[in-house]
Amino acid sequence: MKICSVLLAICLGLIADVFVLENSYLINDEEIRASDLIKIDAESDFTVDRFENKSAVQTPLSKLKRIFSERNISVDSQYPIVTFYYSRDIDLELIKEALKDRFTETYPSINVDDIKIAPMSFSDISALEIAQVDISPNALRRNKGSFAVWLGANDEKVKRLFFSFEIAAHLRVLQAAKQIERGTILSSDNLKEVLIAFEHISAKPIDKSALGKIAAKNRLNKGEIITDRVVAALPDVRKNSQITTELIRNGIKISFIGVAQKDANIGELVAIKDQNKRVFTARIISKELARIE
């Protein structure tokens, strides 16, 4: 019978034995996977320690002794709790680079100073390789959160690990240079560009390419950051704007300059008033043309 020695550690205020959970163990000339050894599966009662080490599992010694005895291993210990720390053979720098790319795609002006990641889940990854890094749009709006890494082999996703992240970065954003009233078109005349820490971002900032194409949803205070939550795209035709309006009947076309009575987009019906204050219902054909149906 093989004897498994233990180390001592303090965990969650209790004295605990500590085992490093390697990818595999060679016991009595038999290679045993780590997940086989401690029976990690959906029906197990292992719990993840989410306080100090986020890649650890804990189990009562009594259960551990029973599991190990099935492998003819005796655990020599008197402490009630055993903590397993999982040892991964995974390229964390590669994951960081992939995560950085996702932030750069979302925020082209971002300058990433540092990214920290830490595992939140554990698994027997064997010889699997990183296949894909998944992070939700909501997580990309924050400077800290969580994301998933898919591991696979032969172009197949096999296992998924979860990581926490914290990103230190700066980016250039547009800010209200003065108080801006609701409905005002946003341009370089009422906005300015500033450099801020990413942690102060709560929504996706608007890019300079949108200037002249967006308006304030509500009144904006001086210094307010311009994000997708505080603006609306300009309609194709704005209320009270002039638009060429035509009527075609029996091959005869009549046109006049009318005034749109509300905001409208291409394809929508809108009331058009002519110079004699007569009102017609017309469909917006383009930004310059409406047609009476």
DSSP code at position 225: B
CATH 3.90.1210.10, the chain: domain bounds:
170-233
H-helix segments, the chain: 34-38, 61-69, 92-106
Residue 169 near residue 111 (C-beta atoms within 8 A): yes
Give the whole-angstrom CA distance, residue 65 versus residue 67.
6
Q: What is the mean pLDDT of residues 235-262?
A: 91
Predicted confidence at residue 16, as pLDDT, reads: 43
User: CATH number of the domain at 170-233, please?
Assistant: 3.90.1210.10
Give the whole-angstrom CA distance, residue 236 versus residue 290.
11
Q: How far is CA 144 from CA 115, 117, 162, 201, 229, in A?
A: 10, 10, 14, 12, 20
**Whole-prediction pTM value?**
0.59
Q: How many CB atoms lie within 10 A of CB 74?
A: 12
pLDDT band per the 50, 70, 90 thresholds, residue 208: confident
Q: What are the beta bridge partners of residue 27? A: 30
Q: Which residue has the higher pLDDT, 187 or 161?
A: 187
Residue type, 189: D
**82 closest CA partner among 14, 174, 17:** 17
Give the whole-angstrom CA distance, residue 258 versus residue 241.
8
pLDDT band per the 50, 70, 90 thresholds, residue 54: very low
* Least confident among 9-13, 172-176, 196-200, 224-228: 9-13
Predicted confidence at residue 160, as pLDDT, reads: 84
Give the whole-angstrom CA distance, residue 143 versus residue 200.
9
**164 closest CA partner among 196, 139, 194:** 139
* Least confident among 31-40, 189-198, 250-259: 31-40
Predicted confidence at residue 47, as pLDDT, reads: 35
Predicted confidence at residue 43, as pLDDT, reads: 37
Residues 59-89: tens digit of each pLDDT: 666 776 776 676 666 666 666 666 655 555 6
**135 closest CA partner among 167, 111, 103, 158:** 103
Residue 54 near residue 122 (C-beta atoms within 8 A): no
CATH 2.30.30.760, the chain: domain bounds:
242-292
Please give the mean pLDDT across all residues of the chain: 77
Residue 99 near residue 115 (C-beta atoms within 8 A): yes
The CATH architecture one would assign to domain 242-292 is Roll (2.30)
In this predicted structure, the answer to whether residue 270 has a pLDDT above a threshold of 70 is: yes
pLDDT band per the 50, 70, 90 thresholds, residue 39: very low
